[in-house]
Structure 1
């Protein structure tokens, strides 16, 4: 019986009743009848797959078809097991916070300025003294390190008298360098005092810093090109020294008992990285006076990961451990480690982990992470619906997803298939909820071929065992009568990451009619209509604050859009070397330093927070083989030699 969307035949209910009776007889008889029905359904599904550009996934579906034939069928081959995902779920990633050295030393300097947890007093001949943390000084000073190793165990506070060998100016510079990685007042008037203190206290990096400064002052041009270690690198080196002292158990002043595992640590490092331990060790609690503190409510593996992060800013994470480590980081208020864990969840999210991330974020009230996870599900719904975790979704959560306008699927048939796979995971319990879930499937967006698959599968579901369920009637009425209106009935996807069209020229064989553009446009939404009909809604973003351009380079780095070089017309003198950066949050442009070379028709790539402009033309069809790199920290371009 054929029908069109102009009317629904009045006798369809009677025809459907007879079809269901025939299907039940086939189930009772078994044999060739069932196999013939299955072959027909596989043929329909294969056609729909080809239309949607799908080439795999049929094996599990065929197993599902057989299961729906009757209640006596077993549940073999229902879904991929955990093992079927291979080793992907067990991959371990080394995750780090590049800003951690700066953050931890800022906290340590705050402690020093407030005399919190300081244990070493450095005194001079004139009576001046500095209260510092012995661990921090020992990380840069070989002299203090040797004294720390010799210090009597159990002595909390101790002192070192430096006598006449070091003056106030020099010692202050050493302390400043230990806590900040820099000496702010390194000028020629006090250079000798600082260098003398650095030599006495055996601070080789500060001695070298003074020596380089002296050579520069002397005008030694050959030495001006010497590489000076940057402030972030200095702090990173000091932190690595502190980590080594921890590994060697030098200066550890407290032992933590975590579930029978003992960790020898430094109070000041824990307090600098954890608000929980800051309160414990600095607010007069009894633990601040104990040499051994018990933490019976923790597990050793998770705590060890956080402890390592306190000394390095690095956490080794995998999906098997990230949720437990994050919970412990929340409990102990390890903010740096918590940020690393949350970044891991956002950056490494996958089809088989996104639902766990969403559940975790919802349980702990992390709205931003929950939004990211739910958005990932909507963007990758077909892949997510093929995972084992999808089968554990509560019915109401599944309905929320499929009712969302932002659901992105190649066809509405993918939504229907996802609902069916969820029901088939436990048909005895879930068939009564099938009717409600089907209200989230937008049947009018399907083609007639796709709806034939709906009809065939609904027939199997309504004939499953002794369950009384009505699905096809409501679907047929919606498909036949709810005609999709071009703008009113669709799936609308508004992605967070969008395609941006920057400048360019209109293609035309007549060169005189080609018009270079300054405009930026972005893909605001993708509308999924009937069948495979898709429409992209483009919106104007703004204009480049430069001449119209084409054949330019475009790249995105740390959320900023970079537009570099290009041509503004078609003559050989129309090449450009200008560079601009667009901030989408502030909706503002910034003029950057020009490239050294005029370039058009070239590549721009991002590597390790640097832009690379590669090759291109310096004149029309005149290639160049040079490469330049842009450093956003210094707003400068540097040429790279090619061999």
Structure 2
């Protein structure tokens, strides 16, 4: 992906110019008399460094060693975490790319195949030789590591940091007779790919011998495990083998440690007076800029010290750390500058991490900055995401200080957009008034134009009274006046509120899809369970609080009707599993189907091992998990099975510690959380536990209220629980109380109760809001075809309209559909 550098708006350029000048003064003045924000920046960096406790290849002007974070941190976690620094509470997020080890080693292998930047020649007794990168071999081989350390020590003793033209310093190692061509090729292959594809019994001895001579313990262990498996030792077959991605991650960590120890560093970069000792090949593998510098014959490819006077050290240091780890520590104080530098130097992995951070961590007080940045640099996808965030959270955004600095034409674009979400049109009017009042002398002339974006016909009479109460007859310049109330009254009184020009019609990128379900009828023989799929194409906001959902039919399941089934989305595909097709003893299913929305086609998959209904399916690490449920009427089970899409097969994993059905499940922070449900005696539970496919069940704090047949969704780092039934003596009754779980505190807190019962309802999180769809009322056994949405920012439920089709024991999910289905 290539980006064209564009100029930022004047206020951005000016702010960043001042920041560069301040940071330059910090270096020149030794840190005396600087502003608080620069002190905070250094404190953040110092905190990171103290946590790592490692020395990297970075020096200040005087040549004294400076510490830098990132060398030995445990990389097993792939999450984005928050770390607060200082009294001001600035948040730094540790952001990583799971795919980075694979990407960087693919580039390194390409360099080796093309003999680019290779510095080590490994020769054999028969004259065969391999040209490799000493750094990569040293990361897996103790033998090469010791020789590289010796060579690095010699270079440091010679003060090898001049600008003389020397190019890549090549050296060689003769391996003697104990290593042959086959074995050495396998070692090199393992170093660059994390695997040996030709690891078979015919050449096992040669590979193992080479691995022992070169001291490659991980490859020796691979050979040993392979030998034990061949011997047929069934006990040893259960041994866990390190996966290829894990092997590459371990090798990358070793390379990062070599950088921290300044082993094999072959170039010094002078960035605004700060010297970084690095490896050419790693920079070239992660940055197109440095790849061109070091591989295309530029003069810098022959220098041992390269000056980069156009950069700032803090931003470059963050990118350099990412080159060795795939990790960047980001906050809103630094992300824009780091992204600019990543663009300038074409650090694609770091650039992707920065852009993902902006999208995932975008907030009301940062979205307008993100939009301005994206527009300035021509990043259309990021701009669309930022603008859409403003539309989805307009009321919160309009309350920020940055909203007051919006240009009038940009504000008009937002309020004229159909996709603008507001609780009522009064919020739009208030936002415009607040924007005008921020600078009335300059902005009053634009008030009339901006008011055309307010859809007055969507207001109620009570709301319109506030419009009249605000003095819209304001003096602008001398005897000139702006008359707005008259035109607003005319529009309010004579326009058609049902007109498409006035209603807000929002079309989310992902749609809510409803699958199957049932419709209640006292006469069991007249019940008709559903095979249909429906999707919410748009959300329509009418007069006042009136909401409506536009439902469209998507198709039918190529199976019997389903209710109390499992539904999940993985890799853009919809999976529909198990369930019931009626209420008799033998009406439960174990079938599984997959729907491809792009091809609009279904595929029959392998059946589950168990019959299951009244259960759920979740996705974790590209696997489906079908958990518990009813195996037959009044008989639930504890088994859990997982589906592997690569092999189209189901296999059992660790069971639950008790039989369970009618529970709710959600995935948060790569953990499967399960709340409530029916136990083997069909008593509603208060339990909450974390389930792991290998370790089983870990119980957490109990809910305040018992419940089953309820909903639970992950939202903003918490788990929201709503609806269902609860125990009342010997009877079930509706559970309308709602509560939210904080996984950090392991504690529950109540939030607004549901307006009506929702038993056996479906649920999703769409655009950071919790939807509960359909269900029934246990007390009078009546259907509830309503859709309610909870907004965490307002802490209120709102009625979004009604369902189309089946309303109870349904399942819902979010799916990205082709545009031709949405037209």
Q: Conserved in 1, the CA contact under 8 Å of 2:268 and 2:278?
A: yes
CA positional deviation for 1:477? 1.3
Match of 2:174 in 1: 161
CA positional deviation for 1:378? 1.2
Change (3 A) 1:39 1:221: closer
Bigger shift: residues 527-536 or 79-88: 79-88
Return the match for 2:423 from 410, 416, 419: 410
Change (3 A) 1:154 1:72: closer
Q: Conserved in 1, the CA contact under 8 Å of 2:54 and 2:68?
A: no
User: Whole-Å Cα distance in 1 between the matches of residues 302 and 200 of structure 2?
Assistant: 43
User: Whole-Å Cα distance in 1 between the matches of residues 451 and 61 of structure 2?
Assistant: 19
User: Whole-Å Cα distance in 1 between the matches of residues 275 and 148 of structure 2?
Assistant: 22
Change (3 A) 1:388 1:415: same
Cα shift readout 1:526-576 (whole Å, capped 9, x = no counterpart): 111222222210011222233221101122344433322211222222222
SS in 1 for 2:237: coil
CA positional deviation for 1:204? 0.6
Larger Rg: 1
By percentage of residues, which structure has more strand? 2
Change (3 A) 1:165 1:572: same
Q: Conserved in 1, the CA contact under 8 Å of 2:444 and 2:476?
A: no
CA positional deviation for 1:130? 0.1
Match of 2:532 in 1: 519
CA positional deviation for 1:629? 3.5
SS in 2 for 1:33: coil
User: Whole-Å Cα distance in 2 between the matches of residues 26 and 171 of structure 1?
Assistant: 51
User: Whole-Å Cα distance in 2 between the matches of residues 332 and 156 of structure 1?
Assistant: 25
**Aligned residue runs from structure 1 range 225-374, under 5 A:** 225-374=238-387
Cα shift readout 1:462-515 (whole Å, capped 9, x = no counterpart): 699977221111111111222323545311111112211011122222221222
Change (3 A) 1:46 1:563: farther
User: Whole-Å Cα distance in 2 between the matches of residues 343 and 482 of structure 1?
Assistant: 43
Structure 1 unaligned residues grouped into runs of 5+: none
SS in 2 for 1:171: helix
User: Whole-Å Cα distance in 2 between the matches of residues 161 and 510 of structure 1?
Assistant: 87
User: Whole-Å Cα distance in 2 between the matches of residues 520 and 32 of structure 1?
Assistant: 67
CA positional deviation for 1:608? 4.4
SS in 2 for 1:63: coil
Per the normalisation by structure 2, the TM-score is: 0.65
Return the match for 1:394 from 407, 410, 431: 407
CA positional deviation for 1:578? 2.5
Return the match for 1:640 from 785, 803, 814: 814
Bigger shift: residues 57-66 or 179-188: 57-66
CA positional deviation for 1:3? 58
CA positional deviation for 1:581? 3.2
SS in 1 for 2:198: coil
Change (3 A) 1:40 1:403: farther
Q: Conserved in 2, the CA contact under 8 Å of 1:577 and 1:599?
A: yes
Q: Conserved in 2, the CA contact under 8 Å of 1:552 and 1:564?
A: yes
CA positional deviation for 1:62? 58
Q: Conserved in 2, the CA contact under 8 Å of 1:521 and 1:538?
A: yes
User: Whole-Å Cα distance in 1 between the matches of residues 406 and 429 of structure 2?
Assistant: 16
Change (3 A) 1:575 1:122: same
User: Whole-Å Cα distance in 1 between the matches of residues 262 and 8 of structure 2?
Assistant: 82
Q: Conserved in 2, the CA contact under 8 Å of 1:63 and 1:76?
A: no
Change (3 A) 1:476 1:96: same
Change (3 A) 1:180 1:303: same
Change (3 A) 1:238 1:403: same
Residue 13 (structure 1) aligned with residue 16 (structure 2) = no
Change (3 A) 1:417 1:65: farther
User: Whole-Å Cα distance in 1 between the matches of residues 411 and 69 of structure 2?
Assistant: 25
Change (3 A) 1:549 1:95: same
Bigger shift: residues 236-245 or 602-611: 602-611
SS in 1 for 2:55: coil
Bigger shift: residues 285-294 or 381-390: 381-390
Change (3 A) 1:591 1:329: farther
User: Whole-Å Cα distance in 2 between the matches of residues 352 and 284 of structure 1?
Assistant: 46
SS in 1 for 2:50: helix
Change (3 A) 1:294 1:74: closer
Cα shift readout 1:379-411 (whole Å, capped 9, x = no counterpart): 111121112221111000000011111111111
Cα shift readout 1:80-133 (whole Å, capped 9, x = no counterpart): 999999999932221111111111111000000000000000000000000000
Cα shift readout 1:171-215 (whole Å, capped 9, x = no counterpart): 000001101111111111111000000000001111111111111
User: Whole-Å Cα distance in 2 between the matches of residues 298 and 150 of structure 1?
Assistant: 33
Q: Conserved in 2, the CA contact under 8 Å of 1:71 and 1:465?
A: no
CA positional deviation for 1:446? 1.0
Change (3 A) 1:311 1:532: same
Q: Conserved in 2, the CA contact under 8 Å of 1:5 and 1:481?
A: no
Q: Conserved in 2, the CA contact under 8 Å of 1:628 and 1:639?
A: no
Change (3 A) 1:300 1:246: same
User: Whole-Å Cα distance in 2 between the matches of residues 212 and 132 of structure 1?
Assistant: 27
Bigger shift: residues 565-574 or 244-253: 565-574
Change (3 A) 1:394 1:245: same
User: Whole-Å Cα distance in 2 between the matches of residues 289 and 28 of structure 1?
Assistant: 30
Cα shift readout 1:234-287 (whole Å, capped 9, x = no counterpart): 111111111111111110000111111111110000000000000000000010
User: Whole-Å Cα distance in 1 between the matches of residues 414 and 29 of structure 2?
Assistant: 39
User: Whole-Å Cα distance in 2 between the matches of residues 20 and 228 of structure 1?
Assistant: 49
Bigger shift: residues 325-334 or 2-11: 2-11
Per the normalisation by structure 1, the TM-score is: 0.83
User: Whole-Å Cα distance in 2 between the matches of residues 10 and 315 of structure 1?
Assistant: 28
Bigger shift: residues 443-452 or 5-14: 5-14
CA positional deviation for 1:358? 1.1
Change (3 A) 1:136 1:83: closer
User: Whole-Å Cα distance in 1 between the matches of residues 520 and 423 of structure 2?
Assistant: 31
Change (3 A) 1:65 1:459: farther
By percentage of residues, which structure has more helix? 1
Change (3 A) 1:464 1:60: farther
SS in 2 for 1:209: helix
Let me know the Cα RMSD of the aligned residues: 16.9
User: Whole-Å Cα distance in 1 between the matches of residues 70 and 261 of structure 2?
Assistant: 67
Count of aligned pairs between the two proteins: 641
CA positional deviation for 1:445? 1.2
Bigger shift: residues 36-45 or 225-234: 36-45
Structure 2 unaligned residues grouped into runs of 5+: 152-164, 651-811, 816-823
User: Whole-Å Cα distance in 1 between the matches of residues 77 and 394 of structure 2?
Assistant: 21
